[in-house]
Copies of this chain bind each other. A is one copy, B any other.
Amino acid sequence: MSTTTATLEQQLAWIAVDWGSSNLRAWGLNEHDQVITQATSDKGMLSLKADEYEAELLRLVGDWLPTTGQTDVLVCGMAGARQGWLEAAYLPVPTRLDQLSQGAVTPTLSGDQLRVYLLPGLSQTRSTATHFDVMRGEETQLAGLVADSPDFTGLACLPGTHAKWATLKAGAVSGFSTYLTGELYQLLANKSVLRHSIGSDKLQDPVCRETFIAAVSEIYAAPETFSSRLFGLRAQDLLDGRLPTGDTRGAVLAARLSGLAIGLELAGACRECPTDKPIMLIGNQTLSQRYTLALNTIGHQAQHMDGDAAVLAGLRLAHQSLKAANC
């Protein structure tokens, strides 16, 4: 063990951290920006006060640190929110994704082993678009997308509780929209009158897959019917003699609800975007597969980038631009 630690200390060049609302992930990287160690914790922003972040970070990465000198720590996500460690003010769009580090803030630390940079989120106001929006954490995943192609142009989607759609032009975010899709699904499935009908979704089941596709099509064609189709789902459970019984029944209705929620999102996000260029999905594989199926249903192609790989690539890009600025 002591050999490994010694090697780690010698190799460690800097630390990347994705510090979200409910957990954090830290990676130790060498001078070639390769991951040599990693750690996770459930101490997200929601469970920490501002003066508890430094101790939590040291608890997690203290063993990685060399005995002398200062180690850079690049942090994205909710640690930079107003209610987090220290506020890194939103950068207004349009913002080049290779310049996020220009908005980083450095909290004052009690020790001198670390130099922490909290990266900013992005904001959009009525002066730059038709509606207000914010993101914090996702911008670093988007930066990961442009790390290998600095002038990337296209549409990117980050599925999730609050799904983000960003329009990228020559490496800059020109505008974005957040859809409440994941949260709407959870509220409706667990807290509304539909909870009596919704089971566990199983998209691999052919009948669920078919139901999901049909629901995406229906709501994409007529988004104004969203609210009535929600109640219709409950009525279908009461009236439709053709529905399967047992667990499959709840799974089919869950697939329908998922299709309605994602279809509404696509109706808002994809109506006016060209179909000749694939939409870049950034996130976990399961959710990205579901989105790919939905996008294919309405005539769009999709590519997938792993969410963890994206955030790490984005933090690398930010670290490189910080080093370049400090030279």
A228: interface (CB < 8 Å) = yes
Using CB atoms, name the residue of chain B closest to A178.
Answer: B231
A179: interface (CB < 8 Å) = yes
Give the contacts of A82-123 with B (CB-CB under 8 A): 90, 123
Give the contacts of A230-244 with B (CB-CB under 8 A): 230-232, 235-236, 238-240
Interface size range of chain A in the complex: 35 or more
Given A179-B231, A188-B187, A193-B162, do A226 and B264 touch, yes or no (CB 8 Å)? yes
Q: Which residues of B contact A267 (CB under 8 A)?
A: 224
Give the contacts of A269-294 with B (CB-CB under 8 A): 269, 271
Given A235-B178, A236-B132, do A227 and B191 touch, yes or no (CB 8 Å)? no
Given A192-B183, A268-B225, A271-B224, do A133 and B230 touch, yes or no (CB 8 Å)? no
In the complex, the answer to whether A132 meets B224 with C-beta atoms within 8 Å is: no
Q: Identify whether the interface residues of A are mostly helix, strand, loop, or mixed.
A: helix
Q: Which residues of B contact A180 (CB under 8 A)?
A: 192-193, 227-228, 230-231
A214: interface (CB < 8 Å) = no
Q: Which residues of B contact A192 (CB under 8 A)?
A: 180, 183-184, 187
Give the Cβ gap from A78 to chain B, nearest Cβ, in Å.
13
What mask results when residues 170 to 206 of chain A are scored 1 for a CB within 8 Å of chain B, else 0? 0000000111110110011001110000000000000
Given A178-B231, A264-B224, do A239 and B134 touch, yes or no (CB 8 Å)? yes
Give the Cβ gap from A151 to chain B, nearest Cβ, in Å.
27
A residues near B (Cβ < 8 Å) are 90, 123-126, 131-134, 162, 177-181, 183-184, 187-188, 191-193, 223-232, 235-236, 238-240, 261, 264-265, 267-269, 271
The 9 A-B pairs of least Cβ separation, nearest first, read A224-B267, A132-B235, A223-B224, A178-B231, A132-B236, A131-B232, A179-B227, A177-B228, A224-B268
Q: Please, could you name 25 A-B residue pairs with CB atoms under 8 Å apart, sorted by A?
A: A123-B235, A123-B239, A125-B240, A131-B232, A132-B232, A133-B231, A133-B232, A177-B228, A177-B231, A177-B232, A178-B228, A178-B231, A178-B235, A180-B192, A180-B227, A180-B228, A180-B230, A180-B231, A181-B227, A187-B192, A223-B223, A224-B264, A227-B268, A228-B265, A228-B269
Q: 17 additional contacts, CB 8 Å, given A177-B232, A187-B187?
A: A123-B238, A125-B239, A131-B228, A132-B235, A133-B231, A134-B239, A162-B231, A177-B231, A178-B228, A178-B232, A179-B228, A180-B230, A183-B192, A183-B193, A223-B226, A224-B268, A227-B265
